[in-house]
Amino acid sequence: MTHAVPPPRLPVRDRAAIPDPTGGGGVSPMLTRLAAERATGVLEREHGTLHLADGHVVHAESPFAPGLADLLLAHGTLAADAWRQAVERADEEHGAGRLLVEAGLVARGALEICHLGALYDAGYFALAPSSTPGRFHYGTGHLLGAVRPVTVAELERETLRRRALLHRLWPQPLADTAPLLRTAPGAAPVPATAPDARQRAVLALVDGVRTAPDIARALGRRAFPTLADVRRLAAAGLVAAKPPPAAPDPPPGIALPPVTDPDITLLKRLRDALEAL
């Protein structure tokens, strides 16, 4: 009597072992841990800071992104004096955002839209790959107050979405922060579509000195749409990121005078004394 031997099972790849192209455990493991702890304070990273309250992100700042004040003041939504007075009067109980809304100086919806735009823009840069570790300082919340808190998962998901979109448009992240140059006439290929009005406004400010964030501030716009416009212009061959300066050559070493008559006896004594320690 014979028994059929079942064929060997084909190897099955363990999906849990497949590396996640987005980084797996989140953009910032420290930020994920702080969210789990429901921490309150400030996370300082190389390209920006994140303000947390009870584990939620309530505010974000980066030198590469226009802030909430820039967006509110750019087109006359809010007067500069009104913003300054709200910041001066703000405390832990009454944030500047709440004071502005209660005074009828800005609509709640407009404040939330500008706040979320500024938060996600700054968060994109703050969560960029960094060469230095982040530092968290436990403390109180931001003086702006909790206008529209977002979870760490929401911020990381939006950051990854923006990275992927910008990479599809133009895969060179240097265009996000480097000074921008116009390409030489005739050197760029004819773009498939002509730049639209928004892109022409960006192109008009490209002067070899301004960066994409500088242009966003000058136009009173959010950072991310401006980054997208810049990368589209780069893909069309109309602008290019200015390459970083070459690293300077190291200074020549100091030439020591030649020793022609060393005190061999003294050197031997020093060696013997060191070995006896």
Write down the pLDDT at residue 174: 93
Cα–Cα dist 234/2, whole Å: 71
Question: 80-107 pLDDT, tens per residue?
Answer: 999 999 989 888 778 888 899 999 999 9
Tally of CB atoms within 10 A around 156? 21
The confidence score (pLDDT) of residue 11 equals 35
The fraction of the chain above a pLDDT of 70, given in percent, is 77
Closest CA to 90 of 62, 114, 59, 113: 59
- Express each pLDDT in 8-36 by its tens digit: 443 333 333 333 334 444 689 999 999 99
- Report how far apart, in Å, the C-alpha atoms of 235 and of each of 106, 171, 173, 175, 207 are: 38, 9, 12, 11, 18
* Dihedrals phi, psi of 38, to nearest 5 degrees: 55, 45
The yes-or-no verdict on residue 189 having pLDDT over 80 is no
Q: What is the pTM of this model?
A: 0.76
Residue 269: pLDDT band by 50, 70, 90 thresholds? low
The answer to whether residues 155 and 48 touch, using CB atoms and an 8 Å cutoff, is no
The confidence score (pLDDT) of residue 20 equals: 39
Quick: pLDDT tens for 168-183: 999 999 999 999 999 9
Quickly state the pLDDT bin for 245 (edges 50, 70, 90). Answer: confident
